[in-house]
Amino acid sequence: MYGRWQWLLLLVAPAACSSGPTGRATGGQGGVTLNFGAAGTRDCSPAAGEGGAPATAGGAPASCADSASVDYATQVAPILATCQGEVCHDFSDLSTVRAFIDAPSDECCNQRELIAPGHPERSYLLDKLRGRRLCYGGRMPLNRSALAPADLVTLEAWICQGAALP
């Protein structure tokens, strides 16, 4: 059985982008090897989730124009707290959330950011939670109900506003 940090390493272990059977990553204690895709590969084509949503003329995503003000401590943290468990990310620790901001996703060949402040359309976290434009894997949280649409709107608004933390 893996400890919490070993699972985190398994979930964010770097992966090679390849078109052959060598697309795998090693990480965690004990040299754990992860294979991506049925044949050990990831699909690195633009159709596999590597694209982005259109922006407005000023560069901000169209979805941010009407976003309501969001407070991390009272609105975002409780949503992220529902994404905890043995194989989930521990979002109760602010350092974990900070590590996701401006950090590239190891699942995407174009290194799309996990949380791109001001740009929910480029934030892979939202795509994973919605189960769309996935570079690898399935919708999060795994094997659990999807987050409520209102929670996703709150997370999107928080990212629109710069993903500020206390």
Task: Provide the 10 A C-beta neighbour count for residue 2.
Answer: 15
Distance (Å, whole) CA 29 – CA 35: 16
Q: What is the pLDDT of residue 128?
A: 93
Do the beta carbons of residue 162 and residue 75 sit within 8 Å? Answer: no
Tokens found for residue 103: 């950090």
C-alpha torsion sign, points 48, 51, 54, 60:
positive
Instruction: Tell me the helix, strand and coil percentages in the chain, rounded to 5.
Output: 35, 10, 60
Distance (Å, whole) CA 147 – CA 80: 10
Do the beta carbons of residue 27 and residue 14 sit within 8 Å? Answer: yes
Give one word for 37, left, alpha or beta, with left for phi > 0 and alpha for psi -120 to 50.
left
Upper half-sphere CA count for residue 107 (Cβ side, 13 Å): 22
With a cut of 70, which residues of the chain have pLDDT below it?
A: 1-63, 84-88
End-to-end CA, the chain: 34
